[in-house]
Structure 1
Amino acid sequence: MGREDDAQWREKLTREEYKVLRQGGTEAPWTGEYVDEKRRGVYRCRACGSELFASDTKFDSRCGWPSFWTPLAGDKVKLLEDNTLGMRRTEVRCANCDSHLGHVFYGEGWDNPDDARFCINSISLTLEPAEDQA
């Protein structure tokens, strides 16, 4: 699915999914289903199904949300300046359907090529486990 109107999104998504994906909300830390997920596979956008992150880029940042050091490809997500809540952050959105996924933070000292932490809401994702992990 690509871009739907608001009524279609409300019909397709649960109230919690809609709040995060379409209204830019955030799930509470340590409550998401993928925080401690270890299975291999591909994480897709829960709204449209686009492939976003690979499990081999997921790492334990101890922040309460799933963290990845890079998306599958640069064109899978779009990054937007976010100055809400009195903070300067970079919002991560699905490039296909424009759903809110979370935020990316740089310069925290992570041992990955871009020193990046894509902090993504579990409710924004679905895991498609690798065939040997299902």
Structure 2
Amino acid sequence: MAAGNGIFEVTKTEAEWRKLLTPAQFNVLRKHATERSHTSILDKQYGKGIYACAGCNLPVFASQTKFDSGTGWPSFYDPIKGAIATSIDNSLFGTRIEVHCRRCGGHLGHVFDDGPAPTGKRYCMNGVAMKFIAG
């Protein structure tokens, strides 16, 4: 997840993150919270474009890989190459794989093995952790 020395390319103090992000973005990206399902406008966003990390603007998912998982969270079957990192999350209901922005370390969501072809993965993301850039 982090660079070899434990430092991300984009680092800020907690106060700097709080100033940059909305309270909901801060809670998800920096405190690993989860937004309520069916609350993100990005869940039903199907226009062409890029989904970028709301913390550092790194493009993390392309619209071509988005699908309706029925979960109430924006879901993708593949990230943009080199955009994310993962770690083990044992916080709820056993072990899950947590997905982070590889540049700032922000918590984006989790990945599961019940997605569509061609990867079989479901990257279940918090919409508040991303922003959509049409194009």
TM-score (norm 1): 0.91
Within 5 A, what are the aligned runs for 1:19-98? 19-73=27-81, 75-98=82-105
Cα RMSD, aligned residues only = 1.1
Aligned partners of 2:57, 2:83: CA distance in 1, in Å?
Answer: 11
Can you list the C-alpha shifts for 1:32-71, whole angstroms capped at 9, x where unaligned? 1101111110000001000100000000100110000010
Paired residue for 1:120, among 106, 121, 125?
A: 125
Using the TM superposition, give the Cα deviation of residue 86 of structure 1 relative to its aligned residue in structure 2, in angstroms.
3.2
TM-score (norm 2): 0.91
Which runs of no fewer than 5 residues in structure 1 stay unpaired?
none
Aligned partners of 1:50, 1:40: CA distance in 2, in Å?
Answer: 17
| Secondary structure of 1:85's aligned partner | coil
Amino acid at match of 2:10: G
**Identical columns (%):** 37
**Is the contact between residue 75 and residue 122 of structure 2 (CA under 8 Å) also seen in structure 1?**
yes
Is residue 97 of structure 2 the alignment partner of residue 105 of structure 1?
Answer: no
